[in-house]
Chain A
């Protein structure tokens, strides 16, 4: 076995992944023989209308739900259930209200058995990364939505995952915080060199952040397609190439 270099770490491949649910006695094929390959250190955005199965896909990738068939491999290792190389960021920050910001960030490391002092030292570094060092001793409820989400991101990064799974992480933020958080996410991603898979319903967000966009359509519609975004970073939302891609995606969803 060769050791993987940093950029090769976190390569995700999804093969023939299927998942269905029973709803009122009817079978709903949410994911049907899905295939994706994502290079390590890249960003994949999953977009699509509500109920198209994008969150289900992310939960399967996270190991929170099991697929009916097919498999997910990370760095050529098949993954089943939850594991440490993947960290999940949800739409809500899901901070523990009884822990200080610092203790929240070290929580993931501590439950994984890192000694408290070491965990705290790493947590401090991560809080610095998300620019919240001066809030170490604050309670979660004293933070704004965007700050709380940054604490959640710091907690996820503290465990040094190979893959960061984000389920509409900026969905609950106002338009202004959203844009600044998209810039933050890009910066953090560049500094951490981590593979990111992100579910979003915001096309602009997908184009701004991702190297590849997985376009999912309504259930039982056409099969998902992968779209490459080859724009240099930092991306300019008003650049003609950016606008052209957005236009193309909007047309795919019938939004002219």
Chain B
């Protein structure tokens, strides 16, 4: 009898103990969440309240619920779907092309010094010339269609990933290269087993900047010379005074940027578990 009581007491103590621990854990999680996202929540709450209360001009800065319902309507009615598709296609093709050309070219240029030295001045010149300033030239060369838009985005997105890859390859620890050489590794083996894995963190830094640049140039190109796409929608909504729609388009674009970055960060973590 007494043992049974003791056991029950112990069990209850144990249970409350874990409960307290769980409470502690939840407290910790909530505080952590607030520490990270607190300011963002304050920002959006103030926006919503200030707009609905009329502290700010709701015609210029509409409340969030109206923006979100405009976004929802745009997507469910299918009105925005074409724009979303064409924008994702333009940015996607251009980004993939910039990675597909920038990474291999960067790996080669980083390994072959004379090539890098010969190409560097012209790359610096191209890089420092605003891609948007060159857009008219691309239009003259490639026409007003998709090609010139994709090309201007590709052009701007190429340089971050290319330069980061070159930098990554050049910074590979010479001591590791020498170590591989002492085991008789061929230049190709050294490249595949030492240079490439060592450069991956730098390549990802470049890819993330390239993704951001691609979205930036997408909007600019679509604002200048397009009749479809999210960038066009932002301008078009503003001309037609569909202000909630304008914000909806901006939010969607911001969301893409965050999503692209998130995907690349996850991919990098997966590939570089050793550096975590």
Interface residues of A (CB under 8 A from B): 62, 64, 82-84, 86-88, 90, 92, 94, 96-99, 107-108, 110-112, 139-141, 159
Contacts and interface: CB of A to CB of B under 8 A. Distances in A.
Contact of B182 (A62, A99, A140): A62
A141 to B, nearest CB: 8
Contacts of B180: 107, 111
A159 B179 contact: no
Contacts of A83: 184
Interface in B164-212: 175-176, 178-186, 189, 193-194, 197-198, 200
A82 B180 CA distance: 11
B33 interface: no
Interface of B: 175-176, 178-186, 189, 193-194, 197-198, 200, 272-275
Given A87-B182, A97-B274, A111-B189, 5 more contacts: A94-B178, A94-B179, A96-B193, A98-B272, A141-B274
A96 B275 CA distance: 11
A83 B186 CA distance: 12
12 contacts: A64-B178, A83-B184, A86-B182, A87-B183, A96-B197, A97-B274, A98-B198, A98-B272, A99-B274, A111-B193, A112-B183, A140-B274
Contacts of A92: 175
B184 A82 contact: yes
Contacts of A94: 175-176, 178-179
Contacts of B183: 87, 107-108, 111-112, 159
A98 B175 contact: no
A94 B186 CA distance: 18
Nearest to A152: B179
B274 A139 contact: yes
A244 to B, nearest CB: 37
A64 B179 CA distance: 10
A159 B193 CA distance: 17
Contacts of B193: 96, 107, 110-111
Contacts of B189: 111
Contacts of A88: 179, 182
Contacts of A86: 182
A99 B184 CA distance: 19
A96 B183 CA distance: 14
Q: Which 9 A-B pairs have the closest CB atoms?
A: A111-B185, A94-B179, A108-B183, A98-B274, A88-B182, A98-B197, A139-B274, A111-B183, A111-B189
A98 B271 CA distance: 9
A150 to B, nearest CB: 16
B184 A96 contact: no
A84 B197 contact: no
Given A90-B175, A92-B175, A107-B193, A97 B275 contact: yes
B48 to A, nearest CB: 46
